[in-house]
Structure 1
């Protein structure tokens, strides 16, 4: 029985880790090291409770929720010894889908200037294509809070990017 659960988790982790990593890169504004840590923490939490989690309707959505909450927890407890850097690290792992790397970097930098919760709501709503209710559940806030935060975060992005997000629709 345990071997079957372990194999089920291995299959799940192998199938979802790439998607989790891409989402984590967006949440971490291109910081690939932090993204790897977030994915590892997410999969570790999932493994501990896999017997229960494997029976939910959508373990992939559950994993995304765990990832977002791990990211928000990380942002709250950020060590005083950490220092932000002026330039983003190489994000070639994020650029797996082609497109214009300069546009991608500009968008990652703009996302990096947003507050962590603003960034999380945009990633969930527009990268993960979640509904307002699903995003609210993942972030443990009300639907109204998601709509408000999303509207304000998009306005901040428009200010930073010169008023038009249409050039970044390919991202």
Structure 2
């Protein structure tokens, strides 16, 4: 890359590194892994920087790269969940709304949603993309986004162990 391209990339990186790290954290639920995912996404972006004609689409490319890296990372054998003989019991009758609901409850529940559904939920509800924007970012149809959203919300409700109002 020439000097001008390097300077443009450096400016973009400085402006977007917190955004990428925060999005990566929402996708994986771990700040250390989020750093790795953001780094992976920026390295991929740097490799293609000269080939990006539409600079307005750079955020979408970065977002798509983050999602793909998170999904790929979740498929690695050492990241798979381990099964146990008995599930830990929740306190009898306790629901999320019976105690102080925290952001951590939501993030913990989100972490247990399958990666593709988690990506759709993060892009829709945390990044504020509409259905067509998520479809474009993930390279799938709008119908797939809608079904993954519905399944992801249902899984999140199950993980939180309660009826959660997701329509408002």
Look up the match of 2:92. Answer: none
Distance in structure 1 (CA, Å) of the matches to 2:50 and 2:80: 39
Aligned 1:1-171 pairs, distance under 5 A: 2-29=2-29, 31-53=30-52, 55-76=54-75, 78-80=76-78, 82=79, 103-161=102-160, 162-165=162-165
Distance in structure 2 (CA, Å) of the matches to 1:59 and 1:15: 12
TM-score (norm 1): 0.79
Distance in structure 1 (CA, Å) of the matches to 2:81 and 2:145: 27
Once the two structures are superposed, what CA deviation does each residue of 1:49-96 show, in whole Å capped at 9, x if it has no partner? 1112263323112211111111112222x133x5759xxxxxxxxxxx
Secondary structure of 2:136 counterpart? helix
Gaps of 5+ in 2: 83-99
Distance in structure 2 (CA, Å) of the matches to 1:54 and 1:47: 14
TM-score (norm 2): 0.80
Cα offset, 1:102, TM superposition = 6.1
Q: CA RMSD in A?
A: 2.2
Distance in structure 2 (CA, Å) of the matches to 1:83 and 1:125: 25
Tell me if structure 2 keeps the 8 A contact 1:69–1:138. Answer: no
Instruction: Provide closer, same or farther for how the CA distance between residues 158 and 131 of structure 1 changes in structure 2, counting only shifts above 3 A.
Output: same
Distance in structure 1 (CA, Å) of the matches to 2:153 and 2:6: 41
Gaps of 5+ in 1: 86-100
